[in-house]
Amino acid sequence: MMDWTALPPLTALRAFAAYADTKSMAEAGARLNVSHAAISQQIKGLEDRMGLSLLDRARGSGALTPEGMALAEATLDGFAAIARLSAELTGQDAERPIQISTTPTFASAWLMPRLAAFRAKHPELSLMVDPTPDLRDIKPGGLDMALRYGSGRWPGLESELMVETPIAIVAAPSLVGDTPFKTPGELTQFHWLQELGTSEASDFLSRYGAVLNKARGVTSMPGNLVVEAARNGQGIAVSARAFIQPDLDSGRLRLLFEDTRNKGYYLVYRPGVMRPSARAFYRWLVAEAGMHRQK
């Protein structure tokens, strides 16, 4: 448990943080609407309370001591986080776009075809969609939420299942014919296709004790191009089954194996209160996913 009584006074910490940010007593005072003498007095009181020097007065430079630099970093980061969260909760950052991260496959196959409906419902809200397989941090002032494939467990984050789907290993009949394959290792005789920025092909094969054949190689590309290349018989593809089901039904692609270790695509976000614009997008996404599962 935190000992709140051991914390230095907030007024003193604000004065010190303002000085660390501006490197000037006068400028820090102007920022907080007090005199430069008041800033100096608050910093001196903070030093007395903590029992250490925060400013290097011996040389008259006013530079921060090592202890001062450490405290400055902590206070500036802390106040910045409070300011960002305050702006989110009060709607002061309403003009900042809603920032969403998702894979190129999910963006092209599921999200983009539906975004027109969100724009019609909320024309005043701006969006920033980052199509990347990278697991970017979800934090105040930055990314609001992400749509990720997995098991639903991301430490420190909340998640809700949007699209339930296994990963499918597929190929065009023109490439593999109708030959039955007993193990994934038999597929190493072919070239493989996977989404750019991932290692889906090698990860899947390694589960069955097989490795990619270097003589056959692997091509990494955006997710929507993976499916197109697979249709053209260019290799064995790794893709979410939900997005290629029409190809399987029509016979354009043949299902070879499935990886059911993870459940599907989840909406992932920070615990706590969302800023109003992000909350509107969250509610719309959850509703869309509900309608998708009912079909």
pLDDT digits (tens, 9 = 90+) for 258-289: 988 888 999 999 887 788 888 899 999 999 98
Q: Residue 107 corresponds to which tokens in the numbers above? A: 């963006």
Asked if 241 and 165 touch (Cβ cutoff 8 Å), the reply is yes
The mean pLDDT of 104-120, rounded to a whole number, is 91
Reported confidence tier of residue 143, pLDDT bands at 50, 70, 90: confident
Q: For residues 28 and 44, what is the distance between their CA atoms, to the nearest angstrom?
A: 15
Instruction: Name the pTM for this structure.
Output: 0.67
The residues, ordered by sequence, that sit 6+ positions from 137 with a Cβ below 8 Å of its Cβ are 143
Burial of 123: CB neighbours in 10 Å, binned 0-12, 13-18, 19+: exposed
Q: What is the mean pLDDT of the chain?
A: 88
Residue 246 pLDDT: 94
The residues, ordered by sequence, that sit 6+ positions from 203 with a Cβ below 8 Å of its Cβ are none
Helix, strand, coil fractions of the chain, as percent rounded to 5: 45, 20, 35
Backbone angles phi and psi of 215, in degrees to 5: -70, -20
The mean pLDDT of 199-225, rounded to a whole number, is 89
